[in-house]
Amino acid sequence: MDHRPWRGSGPIIAVDIKAGSPRGGRATYSVVLLSGGEKRYLETNRSGLLATIKRVRPSLLAVDNIYEIVGSSGELAAFLRELPDDVRVVQVTGPFGGGEGLERIARREGLWDGGKMDPKRSAEVIAELAARGYGAEVAGRRSECRVLITKNRSVRQGGSGTERWRRSIESGILSEANDLAAALDRAGIDYDLYVEKGAGGLKRAEFVVYAPKSVVRQMVREHEWGPIRVTLRDSWKRTLEVSPGRRGWERRPVAVGIDPGMSVGLAVMDLEGRILSLQTIRRASRSEIIEAIVEHGYPVIITTDTFPTPKSVQKVAQMVGARLLTVRETMRVDEKNRLVREFSEREGIRVGSSHERDALAPLIRIMMRYKNLFKKADAYVRERKLRVSKVRMYELLMRGYSISEAARLASSGGGVMVVPREAEIAARKRESRGRTRRISERIKILEEEISYLRDLVREKEREVEELRRALEDLKREMSIEVRRERLISALEGRIRELEERLRREMWRNELLRSEMRSIASQGDVGDGWIGVKFVESLARDVLEEAISRGEVVKGDVLLTFDASVAGMRSAKMLASLGISGLIIRGPYPSSDVMTFLEGAGIPIVDGFDVRIAWRGITPLVREEVAAEIARARREAGAGKGPGGETGSVLRILEEYRSGLSGGDDRLNTTASPRSGDG
């Protein structure tokens, strides 16, 4: 018989109904605990059985018929949810409708010789059959649901603020995702998270939550209004089934490579190195990954090229009971390309995406590592003329058995040597002639096994050390992430504070401008003083703003404290506007700009040689300064004829005097608060 022990090394709990009805949990049961070859017995009800399972945490819960424990599919679902995640439920008689009777299987396996089988004996037989690999697993697909956090499609924003609007939405999606992740962590609910990053945060976040939808709904504020949409939906249909048993269904051991991420790459290979499946699954849940694997067999090993091993791959390996093997460091892209290219040319396959390549490359490397071990095992079998199941022997080697143990367990005759009579006589003759030689060969074999076990121990020690370092790295990364989140929160608070201060200062500035305009419109400036227009600098944007507000018009005389920022565009703007003159108290513009202004007939006066008084925000100069500017305009040819530019300047200056009559004669004769006395 080809027995395949169930995955897991823990104890086995076997159950058979003794009395009563399973509906509503009113039955009593005979229970056998099988651990390390020893058996313990007890009688209990269903609640006591659950308490025992949670305390012992067996690898298998074996039954004759699952509906001897529960009375309906609804009770079965509730019962499976009560079990620890690592406990598998096995129905030793096989799947529903396709199995054999318990007594028939027990008789065939030599566990029962007839007569009445009481509940205690039945539980004992069930435990023995489960230990030998009989049965079908009761697969309760765990409740899953998905939470999507995305931009609401009904929201539109245009104009100059589009980019800022998009970043604000991405920041909101990130905030929603962080809140949900924190709530799930506090509740101890397992989940996978797929995100699409954006400049402002996240463009999309999708949670695969391994909990009932009713539980998740208590933590999710589902809505489709506003700029962000949060939706909750089922991940896949939740059903209960009994998987095909190990009897009557051809199951084969496989090796699996997984590349986790938004798109999951999956490579499935049999133990002789042939590719069975190569595919990419987008935003896959663990159940979908497992379903894609078991279509081709049961996984013995699972590998990935990412170090440290992602949590999602660890969870999949735990759920299927496979051995997790990882490369010691993340593989380089050129190495992966070389391995996959050589393999695909040799096997005649096509790799469709980088995800499939990243799943296949570490699997090829792991299988190359086992190739030499398989050759040694084949030589061992040939030398002893053992009749074994090669695939079964390879599986046991990959599970960590020694060559001799794997060959013995995979032998169809329990490890008995099958040789012709002549060969047996010759062997006895050789034994009589060379007992020492056989002992030496045995020592050599044992030394090989010791060498292999030492290598295995060293590999395990390296894995432990790598995992220890990875744990330390993760702790440091978590500490950095916490500090980063705190800094971001502090900076966001500071930004809000500065924005509020800016609004207050802008409002205060507008009030001061209004007060200054009010002061400027009051009182008489006295005889001999003429008002001119003031601009702080000759920067292009400052001039454009003053002209657009009507503060500077044609024929004005301008006073400025900084002309060094003036370029040719500012100079052309002044010339086309037709200002009458320019008083500069501060840095001068470049020589090119000076030449252009003089050529345009705009007189330039050194402000440090001019006495300037202030009335509010209006600067005042003496009449003789205005007369000097007008004379310079005439000499430049800009004021020819009556009504020319010079006349315009004098007329405008006279209008300033008339408009300011009737006020206070007191003047502020300081040059300005910025530049000192004139």
What average pLDDT is seen over the chain? Answer: 78
The CB density around residue 86, as the number of other CB atoms within 10 Å, is 13
DSSP string, 2-63: ---PPS--S-EEEEEEEES-TGGG--EEEEEEEETTEEEEEEEEHHHHHHHHHHH--SEEEE
Residue 480 corresponds to which tokens in the numbers above?
């950095």
Averaged over 161-166, what is the pLDDT?
A: 76
- Determine the Cα–Cα distance for residues 195 and 177; give it in Å rounded to an integer: 9
Residues 627 and 558 in one domain: yes
DSSP string, 57-93: --SEEEES-GGGT-SSHHHHHHHHHHS-TTPEEEETT
Q: Are 430 and 436 a contacting pair, CB within 8 Å? A: no
Residues 260 and 395 in one domain: yes
Convert the pLDDT of each residue in 317-334 to its tens digit: 877 778 888 776 777 888
Using the CB atoms, write b or e for 51-76: b if 16+ within 10 Å.
ebbeebebbbbbbbebbbbbbeeebb
Query: Residue 31 pLDDT > 90, yes or no?
Result: yes
Query: Residue 657 pLDDT > 50, yes or no?
Result: no
Position 32 scores a pLDDT of 92
What CATH number is attached to the domain comprising 74? 3.30.420
Percent share of the chain, pLDDT over 70 = 79
Tracing tokens 């199941």 back to the chain, one arrives at 389
Residues 412 and 432 in one domain: no
State which amino acid sits at residue 233.
R
Q: Are 588 and 611 a contacting pair, CB within 8 Å? A: no
Query: Residue 13 pLDDT > 90, yes or no?
Result: yes
Residues 286 and 199 in one domain: no
- Is 4 part of any domain? no
Query: Residue 673 pLDDT > 70, yes or no?
Result: no
- Identify the DSSP state of 420: -
Final residue belonging to a domain, choices 401, 418, 435: 418
Domain count, the chain: 5
DSSP string, 475-493: HHHHHHHHHHHHHHHHHHH
Q: Per mean pLDDT, which range of 443-452, 469-478, 560-569 is the poorest?
A: 443-452
- Is 443 part of any domain? yes
- Is 43 part of any domain? yes
- Determine the Cα–Cα distance for residues 645 and 15; give it in Å rounded to an integer: 113
Convert the pLDDT of each residue in 296-313 to its tens digit: 888 889 999 887 888 888
Residues 537 and 559 in one domain: yes
> What crossing angle do the helices spanning 390-398 and 354-384 adopt, rounded to 10°?
110
- Is 497 part of any domain? yes
Q: Which sign, positive or negative, has the C-alpha torsion 84, 87, 92, 97?
A: positive
Residues 397 and 299 in one domain: yes
- Determine the Cα–Cα distance for residues 123 and 64; give it in Å rounded to an integer: 8
Residues 226 and 369 in one domain: no
Averaged over 454-461, what is the pLDDT?
A: 87
Angle made by CA atoms 646, 648, 653, in degrees to the nearest 5: 100
From first CA to last CA, the distance across the chain in angstroms is 114
Residues 136 and 181 in one domain: no
Query: Residue 423 pLDDT > 80, yes or no?
Result: no
Averaged over 185-193, what is the pLDDT?
A: 87
Query: Residue 427 pLDDT > 50, yes or no?
Result: no
Residues 268 and 229 in one domain: no
Angle made by CA atoms 673, 674, 675, in degrees to the nearest 5: 105
Residue 206's nearest CA partner among 186, 226, 187, 220 is 220
Confidence of residue 91 (pLDDT cuts 50, 70, 90): confident
Query: Residue 195 pLDDT > 60, yes or no?
Result: yes
Tracing tokens 């007191």 back to the chain, one arrives at 666
Q: Are 181 and 126 a contacting pair, CB within 8 Å? A: no
Confidence of residue 417 (pLDDT cuts 50, 70, 90): very low
Position 671 scores a pLDDT of 40
- Determine the Cα–Cα distance for residues 634 and 642; give it in Å rounded to an integer: 12
Residue 228's nearest CA partner among 186, 289, 175 is 175
Position 526 scores a pLDDT of 61
- Is 241 part of any domain? no
- Is 437 part of any domain? yes
Q: Which domain holds residue 431?
A: 422-520
Position 278 scores a pLDDT of 92
Query: Residue 141 pLDDT > 60, yes or no?
Result: no
Q: Per mean pLDDT, which range of 14-18, 56-60, 138-142, 202-206 is the poorest?
A: 138-142
Q: Are 606 and 581 a contacting pair, CB within 8 Å? A: no
Torsion of CA 502, 505, 511, 517, to 10 degrees: -100
Using DSSP bridges, classify how beta strands 202-209 and 263-270 pair: parallel, antiparallel or unpaired. unpaired
Residues 473 and 586 in one domain: no
Position 569 scores a pLDDT of 92
Q: What distance lies between CA 474 and its chain's CA centroid?
A: 15
State which amino acid sits at residue 433.
R
Final residue belonging to a domain, choices 199, 234, 269: 234
- Is 240 part of any domain? no
Convert the pLDDT of each residue in 512-537 to its tens digit: 777 666 665 554 556 778 888 889 88
The CB density around residue 365, as the number of other CB atoms within 10 Å, is 18
Query: Residue 80 pLDDT > 90, yes or no?
Result: no
Convert the pLDDT of each residue in 256-271 to its tens digit: 999 988 889 999 999 8
- Torsion angles phi and psi, residue 229, rounded to 5: -115, 130
Averaged over 488-505, what is the pLDDT?
A: 89
Question: What 3-state class would DSSP assign to 231?
Answer: strand
Among left, alpha and beta (phi > 0; psi -120 to 50; other), residue 453 is: alpha
- Identify the DSSP state of 388: B
Residues 544 and 641 in one domain: yes
Q: Per mean pLDDT, which range of 114-128, 236-250, 404-418 is the poorest?
A: 236-250
Confidence of residue 3 (pLDDT cuts 50, 70, 90): very low
Final residue belonging to a domain, choices 115, 140, 165: 140
Q: Per mean pLDDT, which range of 94-98, 473-477, 612-616, 650-654 is the poorest?
A: 650-654
Residues 330 and 384 in one domain: yes
- Is 678 part of any domain? no
